[in-house]
Amino acid sequence: MATAPFWINRAAYLGSLSGPANASEQSAGGREGVMTNGLLETEALGVERMSEHVRDWADLVERAAEPNGFLEPGFALPAARHFPARSRPLFVLVWKRMGVAGARRLVALFPIVAPGFSLGAATARGWLHKQAALATPLLDRDCAEEAAAAILDWCASARSGAGAALIPKTPMSGPVFAAFTRAARATGRDWRVLDRHERAALLSGGDPEEVWTRMSSRKALSEMRRRRRRLEEAGELKRVVYSTPAEIPRATEDFLALEASGWKAQRGALLGHPSLATFVRSATRLLAREGKIRIHSLELAGKPIAMGVVIESGSRSYFWKIAYDESLRAQAPGVQLVYAITETQTEREDVALTDSCAIAGHYMIERCWPDRLVVCDLMVQSKTHGATQFAEAHAKEVWRRRLRMAAKTLYHRLLSRKGR
């Protein structure tokens, strides 16, 4: 028989965070709803409170076992503030007391989406929105497994009755995946991998031509260069990389305008959604202050014809967005830009890997970048004695994904019939 509540709603879940649910959830330093375990303190805060901890957050980014550009404070805070209120996350924070009275250090940060209506066992889901390609939590490299266990303990002890914690879109070969699975084994918890897939990536240090032709051919490279010469016949063609706080706002506006000039104007260009455009302007500005964004631009006679936004975090780069002038499609300006980015990124000594952030099987980038990043959704049992709840939560999640896929397939079939 399942031990989870028959139903749970978001309001009840949020209300449960205002005070302790059991003896281990004691107030710490006068703060209510803080769960303590040895030297660790775990709490969940709304976005309104997170501005108080930006310095601690930024410090954790520098110590993180694995970077995540989409959890840089300059990116995640604007997203949480400008997206609809119903999709705003709770930030689960794990602090470690440092010996000096009152001193503590942030050792984990994991934004979650509070469960909505749920029949049976609920799942605490990592926050993954449409503008992010990863939901990997930030864990201090010096105590990653300990911090992962604290997050699981918090999910288990909250009054939500969550039977599982779901970490969407996290690299399987990374230290965060290893920390959570080790913590699960050490405490007798089960775990499962969902939606394992590969996406294109670019390792640094290679020769651009060799990298480019590993998945295509010399003939394809020659054809791309021929098209580049055609572009050069129309005017001066140059590559520009914008990165300073003074340059990024203007480059961002150029990118938004270029994206809105193409097919995305009908299917979700950022400028068509005021909240998204505000988020992008705010995020790029804040990231520029920290030196964590580059906007690559391919410009013909002084006008951008292709632009790409690359987020920086630790030793990784994230190829977040691309836009190009579709009137020049015959000369493949988007591919020309990707080759220019390939040249830049392979030469950088401060970057180990550039993540394409693309969907699996992307028709263009997988023919350009030969390396692969294996990404999955990791589901971990939250309660040490909750095997039944976890099995129920896992089964529900599998069925939910199957139903979503079936609905998506049906939608595309109806759409194709309509277009005949």
Report the sign of the C-alpha dihedral through residues 360, 363, 364, 370, in that order: positive
Containing structural domain, residue 315:
205-351
pLDDT (0 to 100) of residue 161: 66
Name which of 110-119, 377-386, 394-403 the model is least confident about.
110-119
Domain boundary among 319, 351, 383: 351
Same domain as 189, residue 48: yes
Q: Does pLDDT of 1 surpass 80?
A: no
Q: Does pLDDT of 14 surpass 60?
A: no
Same domain as 152, residue 66: yes
- Bridge-partner residues for 37, per DSSP? 40
- Bridge-partner residues for 105, per DSSP? 96
In-domain check, residue 365: no
In-domain check, residue 359: no
Helix/strand/coil (H, E, C) string of 254-297? Answer: HHHHHHHCCHHHCCCCHHHCHHHHHHHHHHHHHHHHCCCEEEEE
Q: How far apart are CA 253 and CA 247, in angstroms?
A: 11
In-domain check, residue 346: yes
pLDDT (0 to 100) of residue 267: 67
pLDDT (0 to 100) of residue 410: 83
**Considering the chain, what is the average pLDDT of its residues?**
88
* Phi and psi angles of residue 168, each rounded to the nearest 5 degrees, phi first: -75, 155
Domain boundary among 301, 320, 351: 351
In-domain check, residue 360: no
Q: Does pLDDT of 210 surpass 90?
A: yes
- When divided into structural domains, the chain yields a total of 2
In-domain check, residue 319: yes
pTM attached to this predicted model = 0.89
Same domain as 84, residue 50: yes
- Bridge-partner residues for 172, per DSSP? none
Same domain as 124, residue 13: yes
Identify the CATH number of the domain in which residue 211 sits: 3.40.630.30
157-194 burial, b for 16+ CB within 10 Å, e for fewer? bbbbbbbbbbbbbbbbebbbbbbbbebbeeeebebbee
Same domain as 213, residue 181: no
pLDDT digits over 125-162, tens only? 999 999 999 999 999 999 999 999 999 999 988 555 68
- Bridge-partner residues for 294, per DSSP? 310
Q: Which residues, in sequence order, are CB contacts of 397 under 8 Å at separation 6+?
A: 123, 164, 166, 194, 379
In-domain check, residue 265: yes
In-domain check, residue 368: no
Name which of 20-24, 190-194, 325-329 the model is least confident about.
20-24
Q: How far apart are CA 407 and CA 404, in angstroms?
A: 5
Q: Does pLDDT of 263 surpass 90?
A: no
pLDDT (0 to 100) of residue 200: 97
Identify the CATH number of the domain in which residue 124 sits: 3.40.630
pLDDT (0 to 100) of residue 411: 76
Same domain as 172, residue 33: yes
Same domain as 239, residue 138: no
Q: Does pLDDT of 30 surpass 70?
A: no
Reported as a pLDDT band with limits 50, 70 and 90, residue 168 is very high
pLDDT (0 to 100) of residue 29: 43
Q: Does pLDDT of 288 surpass 90?
A: yes
In-domain check, residue 63: yes
Same domain as 191, residue 209: no
Same domain as 378, residue 255: no
Reported as a pLDDT band with limits 50, 70 and 90, residue 271 is confident
Reported as a pLDDT band with limits 50, 70 and 90, residue 408 is confident
Same domain as 386, residue 274: no
Reported as a pLDDT band with limits 50, 70 and 90, residue 409 is confident
Q: Bigger pLDDT: 34 or 80?
A: 80
Asked if residue 183 lies in contact with residue 384, where contact means CB atoms within 8 angstroms, the answer is: no
Q: Which two tokens mark 193?
A: 């991998």
Report the amino acid identity of residue 155: C
pLDDT (0 to 100) of residue 419: 53
Same domain as 209, residue 87: no
Same domain as 253, residue 127: no
Domain boundary among 315, 336, 351: 351
pLDDT (0 to 100) of residue 160: 54
pLDDT digits over 328-378, tens only? 999 999 999 999 999 999 999 999 999 999 999 898 999 999 999 999 999
